[in-house]
Amino acid sequence: MEKQTERQHWMSVLAHSQDDELARYWKPLNLSLKWTALREPECGMARVQARAGDTGQRFVVGDVTITRAAIRLAEGLCGFSYVMGRRKAHAERCAVLDALLQHPAFYKLILEQVITPLAANRAERQQQRAREIAGSKVDFFTLVRGENP
């Protein structure tokens, strides 16, 4: 599998971020920005597919609600986002951050103050979930039985 590009990484971090976490890291930046909506945040559905055993044939798991948004900063840079759920303000904030991360003047600030802590929080959530799953793991094994008379 190919390595993620920087933009794919920050888009993934933003898409998986929690509303309250993102707001907590966004607020201290005190950025007064002007942007126009290319696409107002809107809710829709997406079909989720998976593979049996991660290598088998694809099958449809179900549908999920997603919210998407697209904005253009006054400087002309565009930002986009897709987030699971009906979270319009969150999707718009993610789109703004996507655009800011493409701006050389804001890139380092946003990366250090928002993306890095969000990525660390996500990794901690994943580790916590893995620990919970490991705690309920059941090992099955086959007993070799003798012949019954």
Mean pLDDT, residues 106-125 taken together = 94
Indicate the DSSP class of residue 57: -
* More confident site: 33 or 65: 65
The Cα–Cα gap between 32 and 35 comes to 10
> What's the mean per-residue pLDDT of the chain?
89
Strands (E), 7-146: 35-51, 58-73, 78-84
Q: Has residue 141 got a pLDDT over 80? A: no
How would you classify residue 137: left for phi > 0, otherwise alpha for psi between -120 and 50, otherwise beta? beta
**pLDDT value for 53:** 75
Share of residues in the chain with pLDDT > 90 (%): 69
- pLDDT, one tens digit per residue, over 82-110 is 999 999 999 999 999 999 999 999 999 99
With bands split at pLDDT 50, 70 and 90, how would you rate the model's confidence at 145?
A: low
C-alpha distances in Å from residue 22, one per residue of 16, 19, 38, 92, 134: 10, 5, 22, 12, 29
- pLDDT, one tens digit per residue, over 38-68 is 999 999 999 999 888 777 888 999 999 999 9
- Indicate the domain borders of the chain: 6-133
Q: Has residue 127 got a pLDDT over 90? A: yes
